A and B are shown apart, each in its own frame.
Chain A
Amino acid sequence: DVKVTQSSRYLVKRTGEKVFLECVQDMDHENMFWYRQDPGLGLRLIYFSYDVKMKEKGDIPEGYSVSREKKERFSLILESASTNQTSMYLCASSTIQRVFSYEQYFGPGTRLTVT
């Protein structure tokens, strides 16, 4: 079974703080993704990475950065947290090793509150 873990289920931070959200997957997947989920807006892609040290912007990258130094780990960084970044953050991974298999596997999510 694919296992995607996220460092925290709940996080409360103050405005202006630097925030790190960590995601680890144990299935040697090449691709990793960070989404945020807000009521009525569904899932929106922030960044994704298709290889170590490679990253691409998603639909809403402003205010975020990412780091992928190791294949299994993908970090989302909020350089200076703001209240409009209060949200549920979901990490996912997928592989290209199995033909036609593009489904993403998700972690449990981190509910971040910025006060």
Chain B
Amino acid sequence: AQKVTQAQTEISVVEKEDVTLDCVYETRDTTYYLFWYKQPPSGELVFLIRRNSFDEQNEISGRYSWNFQKSTSSFNFTITASQVVDSAVYFCALRGVKSNYQLIWGAGTKLIIKP
């Protein structure tokens, strides 16, 4: 069975603080793909990043960075110097190579950035 756990239901920080959103996954597939999405208050989910299981390099994109660790089955997302515009619900998702097009979604973490 495949599963994605986002244990943090809600996180609240003050602007300019760094914040890390946790994502832990379970899969028996040796090849799989992990994703992060952002859902701002407007409602539309926005794709942020895809990571393949055979590529463990961490990724940085501006203030965003992702730490993929197969040893702990985690794919954590860090926002550096957070801004109010980062306030959103963030979802982590998993696709196994045999999963027939579907993504397995975490429950989401609501991030509140206070000015």
Contacts and interface: CB of A to CB of B under 8 A. Distances in A.
Interface of A: 31, 40-43, 45, 48, 50, 56, 58, 88, 90, 92, 94, 96, 100-109, 111
Contacts of B52: 100
Contact of A90 (B33, B35, B42, B45): B45
A43 to B, nearest CB: 5
Contact of A42 (B95, B101, B102, B107): B107
A103 B35 contact: yes
B21 to A, nearest CB: 14
Given A100-B33, A106-B46, 8 more contacts: A42-B91, A42-B105, A42-B106, A42-B107, A43-B91, A94-B101, A100-B52, A103-B50
Nearest to A92: B45
B47 A104 contact: yes
Interface string B82-115: 0000000001000100001111011110000000
Nearest to B32: A102
B50 A31 contact: no
B103 A104 contact: yes
Contacts of A101: 50
Contacts of A48: 101-102
A69 to B, nearest CB: 20
A102 B33 contact: yes
A88 B43 contact: yes
A107 B44 contact: yes
Contact of A106 (B44, B95, B101, B107): B44
A91 B108 CA distance: 18
Q: Of B35, B44, B45, B47, which is in contact with the most chain A CB atoms at under 10 Å from its CB? A: B45
22 contacts: A31-B101, A42-B91, A43-B105, A48-B102, A50-B101, A56-B100, A58-B102, A88-B43, A90-B45, A92-B45, A94-B101, A100-B33, A100-B52, A102-B33, A102-B50, A102-B95, A102-B101, A103-B47, A105-B47, A106-B37, A106-B44, A109-B43
Contacts of B42: 108
Nearest to B100: A56
A96 B101 CA distance: 9
